A and B are shown apart, each in its own frame.
Chain A
Amino acid sequence: MRAEGLTVALFATCINDVMFPGTPKAVVTVLERLGCRVEFPLEQTCCGQMFTNTGYFDAAVPDVRNYVKAFSGYDYIVGPSGSCVGAVRHQHPMLAAHAGDEALAAEVDKVVARTYDFTELLVDVLGVTDVGAYFPHRVTYHPTCHSVRVAKVGDRPYQLLSKVKGIDLVPLPDADQCCGFGGTFSVKNPDVSVAMGADKAHHVLETGAEYLVTGDNACLMHIGGLMHRQRAGVRTIHLAELLAHTEGGAR
């Protein structure tokens, strides 16, 4: 396995850092289990997409600079979020151009090429689909829009999930439809956001799953927030946390 001794820099993402620390911890657990050395550069803050996607490009530029500062020394940078990784790869070059800073643009191009979604790092770089996980539950997976259409993780999450021991993975109807989170859309257009989320939650319930899993905690916060309000009895879990579970582990 190529993982032995590989140094990986963890891009926790700001929302995971503050709200969902269990997810980056799980990334550390899985990568160390596979023999990687994980580092967490403390200069990092955020991918900036909340600003970019609300139209405030200037406010996002410092985040791009932080990202470069934190990660330019690494060959492998991994983030447990299709959305944030997608934003780094798709928007940082545009933001550097917006800032009119050619040196920054050149640095951005380099780090962007070395930034991976968690599932890409596992499947493409480390060449593993069986990470030794055990999760004896009925689970359904929602492929979040940015993981599929911006980060383009493809079927990697399914490859990883299908190798989890004990799992009962059931397909989610209308899986490719957006859950309605959409960043600031969720509060600028709350009624449409909730209508979309309600349909997603309905499909999740239809599957009879105990757990809804995705690779983006922001979407989970939205769908999970709806299901929690409705006392729907379905739990949400990030893919990394699911993959961190082993036989004899907790839960």
Chain B
Amino acid sequence: MTTEHVRRTPAPPEGTYLGMPKFATNAKVQLGDNQLRKNLRNATGTIRAKRVARVAEVPEWEELRLAGEAIKNRTLRHLDAYLVQLEESLTRAGAKVHWARDAAEANAIVVSLVKAKGVDEVVKVKSMATQEIELNEALEEAGIAAWETDLAELIVQLGHDRPSHILVPAIHRNRSEVREIFLREMKLYGTPAPDNLTDDPTVLAAAARTHLREKFLRAKVAVSGANFAVAETGTLVVVESEGNGRMCLTLPETLISVVGIEKVVPTLADLEVFMRLLPRSSTGERMNPYTSMWTGATPGDGPQDVHVVLIDNGRTRVLADPEGRPALRCIPCSACLNICPVYERVGGHAYGSVYPGPIGAVLTPQLRGTSSEIDKSLPFASTLCGACFEVCPVRIPIPDMLVHLRHQVADKKRHHPGVEQTAIAAAGWVLADRSHFELAQRAAALAGRLLPGRSHLGPLPWPASPWTDARDLPVPPSESFRAWWQRTRGETA
């Protein structure tokens, strides 16, 4: 990029995800943002309640979850065959299929397709895959402006911000912040917001509609993702709420869809299960307002130049690990984010990835590996409370997978032992054998006796400080249960 390069679209924040510090450090910053805490509490609380109500209406919900899990498992088991079938079906239907091993390849394909059209802008349907590969920035560097058209993505883009939720990327913003962003930024990138803009959600949505309208009508190329790709027919599916996605999918001449290889489902009939699971799990609706399905190119109707870029970008590595594989079942519904007590308090930015929350904590370290500080810390960003598994429509055992990833991280550290390894080794020795344990118990009881009349300890220096900075610590009693049992009952075993 030359210094004279003038950006076409709002610049995202400085820095990279991979350069972020560990989760606990990011979380501490986010926890201090009272506005964020309030926005998240309100938003996740509302959506959780809606989900519960809608799920309760379906008596066979557990069977549906099992069916969703089974279909995805079968697909993943034979992914190679289904992908070939998908390519054949797409080609037969008039779409051009491209394969991309990683983000760089995928971005290069999209850039060259757009350049071949001779245009310098695209409209975008909300898509996690293009976020993951950072397509917008790749296009920007090639002099192509990518306009987000999903309302929440638009708020994020105009706000020079990063998404913090997979379904509601601007969940961390409230409406007065959105008003300010629209007033400040819209005029720099197209139709300005009206001067009398209020923070009424309908007024804000109307401003976005006007701003986006000229972009929809002008665009020759659209870029989308897909929620599902049907191997049998080559049908792609986009599930959305606003209809902006459908504008992108129908108006331009060229449609480029960037699709992760895990999105494939075998047949159209399989969609029945997912279309019942997804809306109720994600927005707490019986059915989402817009479901668009297209099969290649239809002469005289909609885009005539249809491309599908199938991306791996780490997915085959995830697939190769039997413990990690279930993450590929994800149908990004975001129920696990909304229910997660950690996510609710820190928001998405602390996770240093486009995939935040519980699914992000298991997916990101698998896709990117665990060499950076942030990726190493993500498997530990959970209390293992299990709420995410309970709500996941495809039964991804996130807590078990977190434990599995923690093992991978701990195993890597084996050769560079630090404080934690020493502490674990000491505790391991204590608990490995009854006689060691009894010795340690006597030491603890002695500590208890040295602090007569104290039931709790207040603030202490490190290494106790992470606990005692905010919590008192009980003093061990002078007699353990075991000692009491032996004193009063004698040895019985």
Contacts and interface: CB of A to CB of B under 8 A. Distances in A.
A177 B341 contact: yes
A178 B383 contact: yes
B31 to A, nearest CB: 5
A196 B383 contact: yes
A115 to B, nearest CB: 16
Interface in A86-127: 91
- Counting chain B CB atoms within 10 Å of each CB, the highest count among A16, A57, A91, A222 belongs to A57
Contacts of B472: 225, 228-229
A221 B474 contact: yes
B476 A40 contact: no
A51 B427 contact: yes
B294 interface: no
B437 A178 contact: no
Contacts of B28: 191
Given A18-B480, A182-B382, A39 B492 contact: yes
Q: What class of interface size applies to chain B in its complex with A?
A: 35 or more
Contacts of B432: 45, 62-63, 66
A132 interface: no
A184 B473 CA distance: 15
Interface in A45-100: 45-46, 48, 50-57, 59, 62-63, 66, 70, 91
A66 B433 contact: yes
A185 B380 contact: yes
A155 B425 CA distance: 38
A226 interface: yes
A192 interface: yes
B383 A225 contact: no
Contacts, number: 188
A196 B434 contact: no
B342 A192 contact: yes
Q: What class of interface size applies to chain A in its complex with B?
A: 35 or more
Nearest to A222: B471
Contacts of A178: 341, 383, 385, 387
A145 B386 contact: yes
Contacts of B476: 18-19
- Counting chain A CB atoms within 10 Å of each CB, the highest count among B409, B467, B471 belongs to B471
Interface string A214-229: 0000000110111011
Contact of A57 (B23, B407, B437): B407
A35 interface: no
Contacts of A210: none
Nearest to A90: B400
A169 interface: no
A130 interface: no
A207 B194 CA distance: 48
Contacts of B287: none
B462 to A, nearest CB: 11
A192 B24 contact: yes
Interface in B396-413: 403, 405-411
A12 B482 contact: yes
A234 interface: no
Contact of A45 (B379, B431, B470, B486): B431
10 contacts: A14-B437, A17-B481, A18-B444, A18-B476, A40-B489, A42-B493, A44-B434, A149-B387, A177-B341, A178-B387
Interface of A: 12, 14, 16-21, 24-25, 39-46, 48, 50-57, 59, 62-63, 66, 70, 91, 145-146, 149-150, 176-178, 180-197, 221-222, 224-226, 228-229
Interface of B: 23-24, 27-28, 31, 341-342, 345-346, 379-387, 389-390, 403, 405-411, 420, 424-425, 427-428, 431-434, 437, 440-441, 444, 456, 458, 466-467, 469-474, 476-477, 479-482, 484-486, 489, 491-493
